[in-house]
Amino acid sequence: MQLPPALHARLAGAPGSAEPLPVERDPAARTAPFRFAPRPVRFPREHDFFEEGDVQRHLYLQDVLTQVGGAPERPRVPEFTCQVAGCCQVFDALEDYEHHYHTLHRNVCSFCKRAFPSGHLLDTHILEWHDSLFQILAERQDMYQCLVEGCTEKFRTSRDRKEHLVMRHLYPVDFRFDKPRKSRGPVMPGAAEQVLAEAPGDDGVPSEVDAMEVCSEHVEPPPAPAGERRAYSHRIPSTICFGQGASRGFKRAKKRNKHQ
Amino acid sequence: MWSRQRGRLKPLCCGVEELRCRRREREAALRKARREQQLVSKRLLRDEALEEAEEGCVAMIFGEAEIQQFLRLAQRGTEEKEREGALVSLRRGLQRPETQQTFIRLEGSIRTLVGLLTSNQALLQLEAARCLHELSHSEQSAVVEACLPATSYLLTYLSGHSSDFISPHLTVLEALGYALSQLLQAKEAPEKIIPSVLGSTLPQHMLQLLQPGPKLNLGVAVEFAWCLHYIICSQVNNALLITQGALSTLGLLLLDLAGAVQRTEDAGLELLACPVFRCLSNLLTEAAAEAVGGQLQLRDERVVAALFILLQFLLQKQPSLLPEGLWLLNNLTANSPSFCTSLLSLDLIEPLLHLLSVSNVVSVLVLTVLCNVAEKGPAYCQRLWPGPLLSSLLDTLAFSDTEVVGQSLELLQLLFLYQPGAAQAFLQQSGLQALQRHEEVAQLQDRVHALQQTALHG
C-alpha cells in the first residue's frame, strides 16, 4: 500500500480541514432497488466485529500476566543451599544465588570474615585494618585512599575521606560497604548498589562495630536538607564502617581518638 | 512490569514453529471463548497465565489474622526484603476468592494497600500493584468494587507526579488501568459501575493519561484506552465524555500514534491503535459529536492522514485489525463532505483501492467508504474518475461474496448517476459480462438488472 509522499508532510503540518467540494445529491440515488445511505456505525461491546481486536488484546494480556504472575523473569530451579561453610541460605533461582555468593562470599577477609562487594574494597580493608605498618604510617602522612577507583586523593583520616566521598563522589552520607555476617535472605539482583547506599536502620541491626576508628554505636539520622550540605559532617558517624561484627586482626589497647 | 518486559523474549525452550503453533491454539481458544460470551471471564485469562507461571504453587486461603500480619509486615517491617516478601505471600493468597473476600472485609486493608501503592520504595510499590492486580481479577463484583474508590485517589496521586514519572509509578499506573479495565468489563458495569465512574474525576484523569507528549507511556495508555472503550461502547453517557474533550484528545493521540509508527518498529503500537479506533468511531456516532460550531468536534484532516499511515502499518503488522481502522474511516467520512474532500485532495483513493484484495470484510468497508464519497454528488465523482476505480470495481464484481458484490453495485449506480461517461466506459470494459454472473442471486438481481438497464439505455 503505497502512500503519497505528501501525506507524511501533511501529518506533520498545521491543523486544518479541507474546504468541502459542493454537495449535490440526486434523489434518484437512493431509489429502490438501491439502498445505500452513508451512516456512521456504532458497535456495542459484544458485537462480533470486535472479536479480532479482543482476541489480540487477550493474547497480549496473557503474555503479560504470565510474566506478572510469576516472579520477574528468572529461571527457577529446585531449591538448593549455599555450599559455603556456615552459610545455610536457600535459593530457587540461580541469579539470586549468584548475587548472594558474589556479595557475601567472594571477597571475604580471611582475618575477620567481613565480606566486601569487590576485590578493591577488600584490599583496602585489609590494608587499613590488618596491616600494622599502615597504622604507623597513618600517624605521619595521608594514608586513607579514596575508595573510588581512579581517584588518587589520600586523606589523613577516615572521616576526611568519607567527607570527600560524599562531597566529591556524591556518596550518600550513610553508605556502608560491608555486609553483616548473618545473611538475611535471597539478595535481589542489583543489591550491589544497595550495598553502597543502605538507608539507616534498613537492616534493623545496630552497628556492632568495632571499627578502625572510633565509631558511634548508633546509626545517624538521615542527612540534612540539600541547602545545608556542610552541616552533615557533624552528624555522620566518625568513621566509615567497613566491617561489622568482626574481630580485629591485631589487638589494640584502646580506641583511637586522635583521628576524630 | 509491563513496559520493561514487553518485547523481551522468553527463553526459548521450544522451536519457533512450536511457538507459532501454540499461539494459533491460544487464539483459537480465545475466539471460541468470545463466541460463547466467555471472553470477559477472568477465569480464562487467569487459568492460562497461572498454568504457565506458577505450576505446583498452590495459593493458600488466608484468614483475617494472617492478612493483618502480612499487611503489618508490609507496612512496618524493618527490612525491605521482609516487607516485599509479605506482599508476595499476600498476593498469592489473593488468588483465592475466599482470601479476597476476607481482605476487602478487613477494615483498613484497602487503605493500607493504597498506602503501599504510593510508597516511596519502588519494590514495595510493584508488589502492591500486583496485589491490586489479583483483586481486580476477582469474579466477585463486590471485591472489584471495593477497589474503585481507591482508584480516583491513586490517579490523583500519580498524576501529581506526572512531571517525574519513574518506573514504579508507571507500573502502578498500568496496574491500575488494567484493574479498572477488568472492572469496567463486568456484566453489571453499565448499570452499576460506569455511572459512578462517569460521575467522578476518573474520566478526566484517563484523558490526561492519553494525551500525547513526552510523558505518554505506551503501557499505561493501552490500559486506559481500553477502559475508555468499555465505557464508551456501553453507551451510558458519551455526551459527557465529548464535553470533556475526548474527541480532540483521542484525535491528537491518533496523530501521535501515526508519528510513532513512522519512527519505530515497535510492534506494540497496534495494541493502542485498536481501542483508540473503537473509542473514536463510537463517539462519532453521538449527536454531540455533530454539534455545529463546537471545538469539541473532530475536523482536522490530519486525522485522515494519520489513519492511512496506521492502515498501512496494520497491513504489515496486523491485517486482522484493518476492519477497525476502516470502520473509523467510514464514521469520519459518512456525513462529512470535508473529510471526503480530504480523501480526494490527499490522493488517498488509490491506496484505499489497494486494500480491496485483503479480505471480504475489508473490501466491503473500502467500498462503503468509496460510496460515502461518491454519494455526495458530481463534484466528488468527477474526482474519482478516471483512474483505477473502474478496473477495481470490475475485479470486485468477480468476487463471490454477496456483500462485496452488493456494495460494488451500489457504487456503480452512484458513478453512473453522477459521472457522465462512466456507464460507457463500463460497457467497453466488459462490464455487462461481469454483471451477468450475479443475475440469479436473490439479494443482487434487482440491482443487477437496474444497472444493466442504465448501462444500455442511459
What is this model's ipTM? 0.84
Note which residues in 414-443 of chain B have CB less than 8 A from chain A. 414, 417-418
> Among B154, B186, B218, where does a domain finish?
B186
Mean pLDDT of A230-252: 34
Angle at CA of residue A189, ends A184 and A194, nearest 5°? 65
Average pLDDT over residues B264-269: 75
Cα–Cα distance measured from residue B44 to residue B231, given in angstroms and rounded to the nearest whole number: 22
A68 interfacial to chain B (CB closer than 8 Å): yes
Average pLDDT of the residues in B91-101: 87
Are the C-beta atoms of residues B213 and B228 closer than 8 Å to each other? Answer: no
Q: What is the mean pLDDT of chain B?
A: 84
Q: B-chain residues within 8 Å CB-CB of A78?
A: none
- The last residue of a domain, from among B186, B201, B219: B186
Residue B453 included in any domain: yes
Residue, of B408 and A97, whose pLDDT is higher: B408
* Domain final position from B186, B207, B232: B186
Predicted pLDDT at A201: 32
Output the pLDDT for position A156: 92
Compute φ and ψ for A200, nearest 5 degrees: -60, 140
For B59, the closest chain A residue by CA position comes to: A69
Residues B379, A70: C-beta atoms closer than 8 Å: no
Q: With an 8 Å Cβ cutoff, are B337 and A19 in contact?
A: no
- Positive or negative, the Cα torsion across B439, B443, B446, B449? negative
Q: Is B80 near chain A, with CB under 8 Å?
A: yes
Helix (H) or strand (E) holding A116: strand A115-116
B282 within 8 A of B233, measured Cβ to Cβ:
yes
Q: Report the Cα–Cα distance between both ends of chain A, in Å, rounded.
A: 77
Q: Is there a domain that residue B133 lies in?
A: yes
Q: Is residue B226 part of a domain?
A: no
CA distance A234 to A230: 8
Chain A stretch 122-161, residues whose beta carbon is closer than 8 A to a beta carbon of chain B? none
**Domain span holding position B105:** 63-186
Q: How many helices (H) and strands (E) does chain A have?
A: 7, 6
Closest chain B residue by Cα to residue A68: B1
**Statement: residue B83 has pLDDT above 50:** yes
Least confident of A30-39, A172-181, A217-226, B210-219: A217-226
For residue B38, what is its C-alpha cell?
Answer: 466467555
Nearest to A184 among B79, B271, B347 (CB): B79
Q: Tell me if A49 and B235 make a contact (CB, 8 A cut-off).
A: no
Nearest CA in chain A to B130: A68
List the beta bridge partners of residue A115.
Answer: A108, A179
Peptide linkage before A33 cis (omega within 30 of 0): yes
Q: Is B240 exposed, middle or buried (0-12, 13-18, 19+ CB in 10 A)?
A: middle
In a domain, B273, yes or no: no
Of B196, B175, B178, B59, nearest in space to B114 by CA: B175
Assess if residue B315 is contained within a domain. no
Q: Cβ–Cβ of B300/A17 closer than 8 Å? A: yes
From the CA of A104, how many Å to the nearest CA of chain B?
A: 16
| Residue B376 pLDDT level (bands cut at 50, 70, 90) | very high
Question: Which DSSP symbol is given to B187?
Answer: T
CATH number of the domain that residue B417 is part of: 1.25.10.10
* Interface residue A73 vs chain B (CB under 8 A): yes
DSSP assignment letter at A211: -
From residue A225, give the alpha-carbon distance in Å to each of A160, A173, A218, A229.
21, 12, 21, 7
Chain B residue numbers touching A51 (CB-CB < 8 A): 31, 34-35
Does B274 map to a domain?
Answer: no
Identify the CA nearest to A67 among candidates B434, B50, B173, B401: B50
Q: Which helix (H) or strand (E) holds B447?
A: helix B445-457
Which of A39, A42, A188 should be substituted to probe chain B, the one whose Cβ sees the most B Cβ atoms within 10 Å?
A42
pLDDT at res. A123: 86
Please indicate, yes or no, if residue B289 is contained in any of the structural domains.
Answer: no
Phi/psi at B291 (nearest 5 deg)?
Answer: -50, 130
Q: Which residues of B touch A54 (CB under 8 A)?
A: 30, 34, 39
For B22-67, the pLDDT digits (tens) are: 888 888 888 888 887 655 545 444 544 444 445 445 667 888 899 9
Instruction: Give residue A214's pLDDT.
Output: 20
Confidence band, pLDDT 50/70/90 cuts, at residue A194: very low
Burial status of residue A247 (CB atoms within 10 A of its CB: 0-12, 13-18, 19 or more): exposed
Per-residue burial over A117-136, b if 16 or more Cβ lie within 10 Å, else e, is bbeebbebbbebbbeeeebe
Contacts of B262 in chain A (CB under 8 A): 8
pLDDT of residue A10: 95
Put simply, the answer to whether B49 touches A1 (Cβ < 8 Å) is: no
* Grid cell listed for A24: 449535490
Among B10, B34, B346, the residue with its CB nearest the CB of A7 is B346
The mean pLDDT of A203-216, rounded to a whole number, is: 27
Question: Which positions 382-401 of B are in contact with A (Cβ < 8 Å)?
Answer: 383
Question: What is the mean pLDDT of the segment spanning A66-74?
Answer: 52
Q: Amino acid letter at B252? A: L
pLDDT band at B171 (very low <50, low <70, confident <90, very high): confident
Residue whose C-alpha cell reads 439479494 in the numeric block? B443
Residue B341 has pLDDT above 80, yes or no: yes
pLDDT in tens, B179-237: 788 878 877 788 878 888 888 778 888 898 899 987 788 888 999 999 999 999 999 99
Taking contacts as CB-CB distances below 8 angstroms, the residues of chain B near A55 are: 27, 30-31, 34, 39
Does residue A19 belong to the interface with chain B, where contact is any CB pair within 8 Å?
yes
Spatial CA neighbour of B144 closest among B93, B183, B90? B183
* Secondary structure of B402-419 as H, E, C letters: HHHHHHHHHHHHHHHHHC
H-only helix segments in B360-441? 360-374, 378-384, 389-396, 402-418, 422-428, 431-436
Residue-level pLDDT at A67: 60
Among the partner-chain residues A49, A56, A65, the one whose CB lies closest to the CB of B318 is A56
Q: How many domains does chain B have?
A: 2
- Are residues B374 and B413 in contact, defined by beta-carbon separation less than 8 angstroms? no
Mutation target for B interface from A51, A62, A92, A95: give the one with most B CBs within 10 A. Answer: A62
Average pLDDT over residues B114-128: 78
Compare CB distances from B413 to A34, A51, A57 and report the shortest one's residue: A34
The span from the CA of A188 to the CA of A95, in Å, is 9
* Residues of B whose CB is below 8 A from A193: none
pLDDT at site B8: 37
Tell me, yes or no, whether B369 lies in a domain. Answer: yes
A162: Cβ–Cβ under 8 A, 6 or more apart, which residues? A171, A236, A239, A240
- Across the interface, whether the CB atoms of B379 and A25 are under 8 A apart is answered no
Q: Examine the pLDDT at A251 and tell me if it is beyond 70.
A: no
